[in-house]
Amino acid sequence: MGGASSTPPKPTLSEHSKKIAEEVKEHAVVLYTKDGCGYCVKAKNELYEDGIHYTEKNLNTVAKVFPDPQEYIKGLMDLTRQRTVPQIFICGKFVGGYTELNALRPNLAKILETCSVDHGETLRREFTSKI
């Protein structure tokens, strides 16, 4: 009938989801990982090879630090709608896991310029020093 389409409202974020959303804005690249995760290792290795600094949030460590670690992990899953790791945020936005990171790899330095404090100058210096 009418041409109007309605999109369902976004679910209200839990306090843990809100905390995670703020955490990922503090760093250009944030990886949520677990011990023994092969794809987490691959993601970290590729970032290292490309000279990209990242912040790792190991969910096994979180379980030892937070009073209710399952709620924190649930908050992450509610935010990303993903149950597997790695869960990767770039410039404060969830991009996906290893496969998505790998697909972004050719353009990652350029993407990071948009959210870096010095507009990518540090990134360019580090890249140039590797050549």
pLDDT of residue 117: 60
Q: Which residue has the higher pLDDT, 63 or 92?
A: 92
Confidence of residue 118 (pLDDT cuts 50, 70, 90): low
Q: How many CB atoms within 10 Å of residue 95?
A: 17
Break the chain into its structural domains and give their ranges. Answer: 15-130
Burial of 87 (0-12, 13-18, 19+ CB in 10 A): buried
Q: How far, in Å, CA of 87 to CA of 67, rounded?
A: 22
CATH topology assigned to domain 15-130: Glutaredoxin (3.40.30)
Query: DSSP letters of 93-111?
Result: EEEESHHHHHHHGGGHHHH
Question: Do the bridges between strand 87-90 and strand 29-33 make them parallel or antiparallel, or are there none, so unpaired?
Answer: antiparallel
CA–CA gap between residue 73 and residue 60 (Å, rounded) = 10
69-80 vs 15-23: helix axis angle to the nearest 10? 70
The pLDDT confidence band at residue 101, using thresholds 50, 70 and 90, is: very high
More confident residue, 61 or 66: 61
Strands 87-90 and 93-96: antiparallel
Average pLDDT rounded to a whole number, residues 74-83? 94
131 has a pLDDT exceeding 50: no
Rounded distance between C-alpha atoms, residue 117 and residue 1, angstroms: 49
Q: What would the mean pLDDT of 63-71 be, rounded to a whole number?
A: 84
